[in-house]
Structure 1
Amino acid sequence: MSVVTWQEAEDTLTAAVEYLGAMPDRERAFLAAGQRTAWPAIVRDLQSDYADVEASPSPQLTRRCANLVERMLTGERPLANAIPEGHRPLVGRVIVMKRWPGPDGFGWDHVFRSQRGELYNLARGAVLPTTSDGMRKAYERAIGRLAVALDRVAVGN
């Protein structure tokens, strides 16, 4: 009997978000076309503010990474759908803020300010004011629901 812990669920969702961000942006591919011309430096100067710094290539994603992104976020029935729709913006913001905390570090007070102290409640169809502790609890419940969904998939139910 497999039991997916809350931390494993959060780590899996964080990994999927990271892999999604590392995937190539095919719509932006036309910007790289000038690099194959006789004047790549000029084209780079026109396209970016950091033309003197060579861009590092994005990491190579494995099929396992792409499958995780599809299973968790982009597939026909992604597991992230276990997260209540009204809490998805909060969960996404917290995942990003925890992974890339910034100079002041991660804190629920930062999350509170970034969300302007509001959570969306689909059952009531309204934006409800809340506290930073309320946001923390909503996030924990949402990841808990994801853990249950991951456990169901792992067990094969």
Structure 2
Amino acid sequence: MDSNIIDDFTCKLGTKQKRSTHRHRIVEFTDYEGKIIRVITNLYTVTAEMIAGIYKARWGVELFFRWIKQNPNIPRLFGTTKNAVYNQLFSALLTYVLLQHTHTWVNKNIREKPLSLLSFTRKNFEGKLPVEWQVAIQHFCDRFLRVYSLNMDING
């Protein structure tokens, strides 16, 4: 197994005048792009590979939340309970996926100049989409409803 661990050592942190009293563990490893990452931890009972894996998993969560803030546009959460947060995130993600799918299908099926997802979304909500886009969206919705109702007839 190839390891991306560069170094694993302990040290006291700080300057001569103000140094930590306890030793800290430092694990150095490379990320997916080959950049060196240094993690300071107090976990001594796990392997360096596990620490790198924990860091990468946490970083994945950070990237997901950054994506959530930038794409589905959830400026604030309306509820504070676990269920309220799940419901708002689920609704926002579902809306985003449907908009993305509609945008992709319409972009492929019209001769007009393509719009970015952001421009498509803004113009759609403002009611300023070109007529050709509106017609294509109507065809997309009709097609979707035909397929959905056909599946409902088959599956009962």
TM-score by length of 2: 0.30
Higher RCO (C-alpha under 8 Å, 6+ residues apart): 1
Question: Which one has the largest radius of gyration?
Answer: 2
